[in-house]
Structure 1
Amino acid sequence: MMQRIPSSSGETPNDFTFSDHDFQMISNLANARYGLFLQPSKKALVHSRLAKRLRALKLASFEDYCSLLNKTEGDAERPHLLSALTTNVTHFFREIHHFDFLKDVLMPQLIEKAQAGNPVRIWSSACSSGQEAYSIAAALIAAAPKVSQYDVKILATDIDPQVIQTAKRAVYPTEQIATLPPFWRDLLTGSKRSQSGEFSIDPTLQNLISFGELNLIADWPMRGKFDVILCRNAAIYFDKATQARLWGRFAEVMVEGGHLMIGHSERLSGPAQSAFKSVGITTYQKLTGASAPSKITDKGDKN
């Protein structure tokens, strides 16, 4: 999932009073449940986005909205809250250097590992509406056309259930691939494009991926370890302490020598810096014998 709070303030509706206390309640809830860090400068935007939810629910105030969210009856509303507070901005082969590195540098090693009978696992940990995961799959096919014969799988997760449904549907506007080189377009579509302004991802790519909902600040159910993890343009929206814990947790679930790819404006921080070395543009390799840095916690970390 690409978790982000947009920078533009947008309209501020004046039909609901939105006090600093109301903003703080929303901010605290978003942070506790989703790890989102809402800066005070986002108050007008949050007001604008959530006022639409108050109207839809026929609520009289933000205090009533917060009260609903903290009750069992609010379970159905929380996904709407998340979608209102986040904007999923992504596209195929975003930050192309990561996919070039995966195709040209990592895949020969990973295929050799798979040919020896070992599983290869790649995790797109903030996959948004699926473009990142399908780009990974295309890079795998480009490097090893017979990759589906081996035990190579991509796990793609996001906190937002709505974008996960889009990813599973695997149908996108044709305009999203219009500027891609024909080589990549053909890998994504299997050379078959719809006349309706949409295209479907080639089933060969779809079969490499398992999509699911996952909150990065909650418990992770996976038990195996990953060879490659992508977490791009998501951690920047967490506070510094949460970021540091997240990098450490990635180190824990990664094989020795595995690789972590992060967003262009993100940097490793905290104890995890000693677990990785830089091997490319925002690409890091886990050092052999690296300790488990995420064991360093604060009172609010239950992991």
Structure 2
Amino acid sequence: MQTPANLPGQDLLLTDADFARICQLIYERAGIVLAANKRDMVYSRLAKRLRLHGMSQFSEYLERLARQPKAREWEAFTNALTTNLTAFFREAHHFPMLAEHIAGRHEPVRVWCAAASTGEEPYSIAMTLFETLGAQLAGQSQVIASDIDTDALAKARTGVYPLKQVLELSEERVKRFFLKGSGSHLGLARVRPELSRIVDFRQLNLHAPHWDLSGQFDAIFCRNIMIYFDKPSQARILKRFAPYLKPDGLLFTGHSENFTYLSDDFKLRGHTVYTLAKKPKA
């Protein structure tokens, strides 16, 4: 017998079977593993979609998805269940390491940010390139900023953030890299064009069988996203990263992620920073 198991105040019917199906679908589409304690989060995030479509039961919503495998609603479903916790220069110790790695270069640098979210991380990478390489060489460099969440990417492309958030950066960075809004944009700040110009935002699903990428990168940032994947998915993604990294390239991971015993393609260089353990096979 199905049990709704809804908390008081939850007016939409979410059965155990519905929750299990949602967990299966988001794993199949994005590799995200949802534990049982994420049930309330799933309810609150997807309830907005049900109300938008005038539905009262999650089973009705899931049946609609099943009937329309290529519908745009799948994108909204995935976006709703993606977590976007980020900040400028989050896990700040990584950026001096990136600067040290690229210092003295005479050729453009390429960096891939594999979990771009709303843009704070790739813009932090871009700022580091400008500060380290100078405006001319940094302006020829490239930051590929990918994410599965199209809503987050749309915000990232605008490059507009609350001024309060931007003012947490140093005064020098605020002056160099941001334009403060006025009038109707008072209280906001926009990333300067020279910075946003080198950041290429694109949708990419790390769980997909094909990545629309070419060439190799001096560094790959994949931070605080692998914690949502199971071990087999983590190992598979790490192996796929290897050919995209230059022989001396760096892989930056999140503070709670440890892949030392998960992949023989990488070896630990420093705190949550990895290098290739061996030359990738052609």
Q: Does 1:255 align with 2:251?
A: no
Q: Percent identity?
A: 36
1:155 aligns with 2:144: yes
Question: Given the superposition, is the C-alpha separation of residues 206 and 56 from structure 1 closer, same or farther in structure 2, using an over 3 Å criterion?
Answer: same
Are 1:32 and 2:48 counterparts?
A: no
| Secondary structure, aligned partner of 2:219 | strand
Pairs within 5 Å for 1:184-263: 184-189=173-178, 192-195=179-182, 196-218=186-208, 219-263=210-254
**Is residue 2:53 matched to residue 1:57?**
yes
Q: SS where residue 278 of structure 1 aligns?
A: strand
- Counterpart amino acid of 1:251? A
Letter in 1 for 2:181: S
Distance 1:147 1:284, change over 3 A: farther
1:283 maps to what in 2?
273
CA drift at 1:291:
5.0
Which aligned pairs between 1:173-188 and structure 2 lie closer than 5 A?
A: 173-188=162-177
Corresponding letter in the other structure for 1:222: L
Distance 1:128 1:59, change over 3 A: same
Instruction: Provide the C-alpha distance between the structure 1 equivalents of 2:248 and 2:9, rounded to a whole number of angstroms.
Output: 51
How many angstroms apart in 2 are the aligned matches of 1:21 and 1:174? 44
From 96, 101, 104, the equivalent of 1:100 is: 96
Structure 1 198/229 Cα, relative in aligned 2: closer, same or farther at 3 Å? Answer: same
**Amino acid corresponding to residue 221 of structure 2 in structure 1:** L
Q: TM-score, normalised by structure 2?
A: 0.89
Change beyond 3 A, Cα 1:290–1:265: same
Shift of 1:16: 2.2
Q: Across the two proteins, how many residue pairs are aligned to each other?
A: 273
- Root-mean-square deviation (CA, aligned residues, Å) is 2.1
TM superposition shift of 1:94: 0.6
The gaps in structure 2 that reach 5 residues or longer are 1-6
Q: Which residue of 1 aligns with 2:159?
A: 170
Where does residue 4 of structure 2 map in the other structure?
Answer: none
Which residue does 1:88 correspond to in 2? Answer: 84
CA distance in 1, matches of 2:64, 2:215: 38
- CA deviation after TM superposition for structure 1 residue 270, in Å: 5.7
Given the alignment, which residue of 130, 144, 158 partners 2:133? 144
Match of 1:125 among 80, 93, 114: 114
The TM-score normalised by the length of structure 1 is 0.84
CA distance in 2, matches of 1:49, 1:211: 25
State the SS of the aligned residue for 1:220.
coil
Work out whether residues 116 and 147 of structure 2, in 8 Å CA contact, stay in contact via their aligned partners in 1: yes
